[in-house]
Amino acid sequence: MSTASPSSIIPAADWQDHSGAFQDVLYHKAEGIAKITINRPQVRNAFRPLTVKEMQQALADARFDENVGVIILTGQGDLAFCSGGDQRVRGDSGYKDDQGVHHLNVLDLQKDIRSCPKPVIAMVAGYAIGGGHVLHLICDLSIAAENARFGQTGPKVGSFDGGFGASYMASVVGQKKAREIWFLCRQYNAQEALDMGLVNTVVPLEQLEQETVAWCRQILEHSPIALRMLKSAFNAGTDGQAGIQELAGNSTMLFYMTEEGQEGRNAYLEKRKPDFGKFKRQP
Ligand SMILES: CC(C)(COP(=O)(O)OP(=O)(O)OC[C@H]1O[C@@H](n2cnc3c(N)ncnc32)[C@H](O)[C@@H]1OP(=O)(O)O)[C@@H](O)C(=O)NCCC(=O)NCCSC(=O)CCC(=O)c1ccccc1C(=O)O
């Protein structure tokens, strides 16, 4: 079983361990909150293909667990949220797994986070750099500790994220700032990140989880369907056809839940003509 290294962040919930056989990830649940923690502090929580695969598995579990309403994504320890792809296993066309197969599977994880119908909150202590910065960026909310530092390194290390990392970043911080972040590869402190709208709030390191869990508890008081619709509505504006598909899929789900939608199914199964005449045409 995975173990956690010491941290000065005060635990804020009675977390139950669901890490199972995960090697690179810790996975906990409490009070309707799922917490996915990248557990590779020795490399500032850089991800390798296995890390990403386990994060996808944990995220899928959280998505399909009816008792979970909100998901926290974080990194183990005080020093880093995530420092991006593990450069030690970077091959010539992606990141190598134990079999030597090359992956860029963090792109799949990004899509999973965007399309998860539950709010995903990045809880950031220390560095969120490179692909790690993109991970926090694409979360619905980001809560930063005072020691958080943000930035891209792609053009320095021979990489770039031309997907969410470019266009979605520009929609969050503006075109000029996004180009500055990528072209100059500077690091930004938590206050600077707050000022440019990259994070929602900044708190002392020790209080990071308390604040994040307080936000989760407040979200959990609210309508799951309203939250789901809002997330997909926000994504529809930024995530292209995939974003529109999510919003449309949620509309279909809501229609299935109506008597009118069910009349079509029932009529088919009962081999009769559907009676849609009994339903009002709303103005
Ligand atoms: C994060 C740092 C700024 C932290 O600095 P510091 O606190 O001084 O610690 P260090 O002494 O540098 O690091 C400690 C220890 O960790 C190792 N380490 C840190 N980061 C990595 C890493 N990313 N890979 C491998 N190892 C790492 C470091 O070497 C040290 O080990 P020792 O054994 O003690 O030497 C600083 O560490 C730093 O700048 N790190 C590198 C950041 C970086 O450039 N990351 C990669 C960016 S590229 C990327 O993430 C691509 C991701 C991707 O898969 C992708 C693919 C396709 C499209 C888009 C993407 C995408 O961007 O998402």
- The conformation of residue 207, written as its DSSP 8-state character, comes to G
**Phi then psi dihedrals of residue 31, to 5 deg:** 50, 35
Q: What pLDDT, on a 0 to 100 scale, did the predictor assign at position 6?
A: 76
CA dist list (Å): 261 to 267, 276, 277: 10, 9, 13
Q: For the chain, where are the alpha helices, taking DSSP H only?
A: 49-64, 106-115, 131-138, 154-157, 169-173, 175-184, 190-195, 208-220, 224-238, 240-256, 259-269
Detail the residues annotated as belonging to a binding site for hydrogencarbonate: 152-154
Position 1 confidence tier, pLDDT thresholds 50, 70, 90: very low
Distance 79 CA to ligand 1 centre (A): 12
Q: Hey, whose CA ends up nearest to atom 3 of ligand 1?
A: 127
- Distance (Å, whole) CA 10 – CA 62: 23
Q: State the complex-level ipTM.
A: 0.97
Residue 2, pLDDT above cutoff 60: no
Identify the CATH homologous superfamily for domain 16-221: 2-enoyl-CoA Hydratase; Chain A, domain 1 (3.90.226.10)
Domain boundaries, given as residue ranges, for the chain? 16-221, 225-270
> What tens digit of pLDDT does each residue of 10-69 get?
999 999 999 999 999 999 999 999 999 999 999 999 999 999 999 999 999 999 999 999
> What tens digit of pLDDT does each residue of 76-132 get?
999 999 999 999 999 999 999 999 999 999 999 999 999 999 999 999 999 999 999
Full-model pTM: 0.97
Contact indicator for 107, 142 with CB cutoff of 8 Å: no
CA dist list (Å): 233 to 100, 107, 115, 246: 40, 21, 11, 8
User: How confident is the prediction for the chain on average, in pLDDT?
Assistant: 97
Q: Which residues line ligand 1 (CB under 6 A)?
A: 43-44, 46, 79, 83-88, 104, 106-107, 127, 129-131, 134, 153-154, 157, 159, 161, 165
What b-and-e string marks burial along 232-255, b requiring 16 or more CB atoms within 10 Å of the CB?
A: beebbeebeeebeebbeebeeeee
Q: Hey, whose CA ends up nearest to atom 24 of ligand 1?
A: 86
Identify the CATH homologous superfamily for domain 225-270: Lyase 2-enoyl-coa Hydratase, Chain  A, domain 2 (1.10.12.10)
